[in-house]
Amino acid sequence: MVRVRFAPSPTGYLHLGNARTALFNYIYAKHTNGKLILRVEDTDKERSKKEYEEMLIDDLKWLGIQWDEGPDVGGDYGPYRQSERNEIYKEYIEKLKQSGHIYKCFCTPEELEEERKKALAEGRPPRYSGKCRNLTPEEIKKIEEEGKPYTWRFRVPDGETIVFEDLIKGVVEINVNEFGDFVIVRSDGSPVYNFVVVVDDALMEITHVIRGEDHLSNTPKQILIYRALGFKEPKFAHLPIILGEDKSKLSKRHGAVSVRAFREDGYVSEAMFNGLALLGWHPKKDTEVVSKEEIIEEFDIEDVHNAPAVFDRAKLKWLNGVYIREILDLDDLTNRAIPFFEKFGYEADFEYYKKVLNVIRDSLETLNDVQERAFPFFVDEFEYEEDAKEILQNEESLNVIKTFYEKVSSLNEITQSDFKAITKEIQKELKVKGKALFMPIRVALTGKTSGVDISLLVEVIGKDRVLQRLERAIKTFGG
């Protein structure tokens, strides 16, 4: 059975890169009928925050990602927060001590920094010199008596090349001399990521480690630890790096990159899911609009591209518009749009929101667009734009809206077909047509020279508000 994990550090908002990692793990688990484990990597005590963990969980759920085991849902392999697994780590550190795989290193940060600078100046890859590697027990005892702090370093087998088959990158070979003996336990006694991740992945019986390419260089170190502890190695799959459109690594410089920001900007989760899945993968069919079900059905980890994925913000926006306009059911769309209407102060009941959306959904790309698009449905006391004023400061226009006013007054309610019938009558009676007929009505009802289909607007806002707006225009422009 496939067991994969998403292992975020709760040190900030869920960003697109991590969301894509979570998504591919989820899709792969679903595709294989396996299990997804959420593990919170909160060993960085300074930067990890409970609020971030809560927000990560909330954003993941919003995206439609569900896990089978995790800190919030439990499971047989817990605890699922690294901060609660210290006793477990101690046990395995002990094992590495016993087997001689790790040794005490007394080098100070200053000494190490010196070494590093020297190596860089000489054009060598900076790596630990091995100074403390072969200290005798007597030497160690002596230094310890001075009370010097120490770290534990992993004894890397000199010159060995670690080879592994990455499911996306293919065969990867890294010589250990590129990094040298590395720290496993810091001087304050806390174990480092490369060590705890191995213990956790092994004990949680993770079969496939699917994560960002930025972790590729950690993998040989982790493999050495798997071997030292006698653990079975999982398969690895490193997802391609995500670039911005300028081909540099995607970052805040490229605009909003957190899932939270997209949520707040009115992106719908289906579009995000779809858009994230396209970061390194493409469906076989000739369209980029693919549902979660289709993705799960078709996705395989080997099909993920090795080349960097470019995040195309405009494409995501376009996809979002497709979901809003064509895919979501109207009731569902209404429920999702309500917080946005409310954010802009547009108060109404569900049915009214739904009617408005039915008219404007075709013009929306994000739910934030309701601010502008829904405006004529909610605001009666609007300002007239300059070009709108010009139109109303004209005898013929005023005549049109006065006649229109009379005709609407005589109706019980005004529907789209009433509007069409009335305007036809006016056309005949006043001998005006086209722009000269419709523009005065439009600007009297909205204050603008373009926008919503007026025949639909009048039906939604209803007779009374239509009359009220016409009266206001007539009063303002000298009726």
Binding site residues, ligand GLU, CB under 6 A: 7-9, 41, 197, 211, 215
Tell me whether residue 238 or residue 317 sits nearer to ligand GLU (CB atom): 238
Catalytic, out of 50, 252, 315, 433: 252
* Minimum distance from residue 119 beta carbon to ligand GLU (Å): 26
Any bridge partners for residue 70, and if so which?
A: 74
The answer to whether residues 28 and 208 touch, using CB atoms and an 8 Å cutoff, is yes
Identity of the residue numbered 251: S
- Distance CA(214)–CA(94), nearest Å, equals 29
The two tokens of residue 134 are: 């072969």
Tell me whether residue 56 or residue 96 sits nearer to ligand GLU (CB atom): 56
Whole-number CA gyration radius for the chain: 32
Tell me whether residue 208 or residue 469 sits nearer to ligand GLU (CB atom): 208
The two tokens of residue 402 are: 């006065």
Any bridge partners for residue 35, and if so which?
A: 3
Tell me whether residue 211 or residue 407 sits nearer to ligand GLU (CB atom): 211
* Minimum distance from residue 257 beta carbon to ligand GLU (Å): 15
The answer to whether residues 391 and 440 touch, using CB atoms and an 8 Å cutoff, is yes
* Minimum distance from residue 225 beta carbon to ligand GLU (Å): 12
My answer on whether omega of the bond before 79 falls inside 30° of 0, hence cis, is yes
Query: Strand ranges (DSSP E) for 149-258?
Result: 151-154, 161-166, 170-175, 182-185, 208-212, 235-239, 242-243
Let me know if 45 is a catalytic residue. no
- Residue 326 is given by DSSP the state I
Classify 18 as helix, strand or coil: helix
* Minimum distance from residue 32 beta carbon to ligand GLU (Å): 18
* Minimum distance from residue 80 beta carbon to ligand GLU (Å): 13
Query: Strand ranges (DSSP E) for 190-274?
Result: 208-212, 235-239, 242-243
Any bridge partners for residue 166, and if so which?
A: 170, 236
Tell me whether residue 6 or residue 273 sits nearer to ligand GLU (CB atom): 6
The answer to whether residues 6 and 21 touch, using CB atoms and an 8 Å cutoff, is yes
Angle at which helix 269-277 crosses helix 313-322, to 10 degrees, equals 130
Q: Give the length of the chain.
A: 479
Tell me whether residue 8 or residue 266 sits nearer to ligand GLU (CB atom): 8
* Minimum distance from residue 222 beta carbon to ligand GLU (Å): 8
Classify 15 as helix, strand or coil: strand
Taking Cα atoms as reference points, which of 113, 124, 227 lies closest to residue 178?
Answer: 124
- For the annotated catalytic residues, the residue numbers are 252
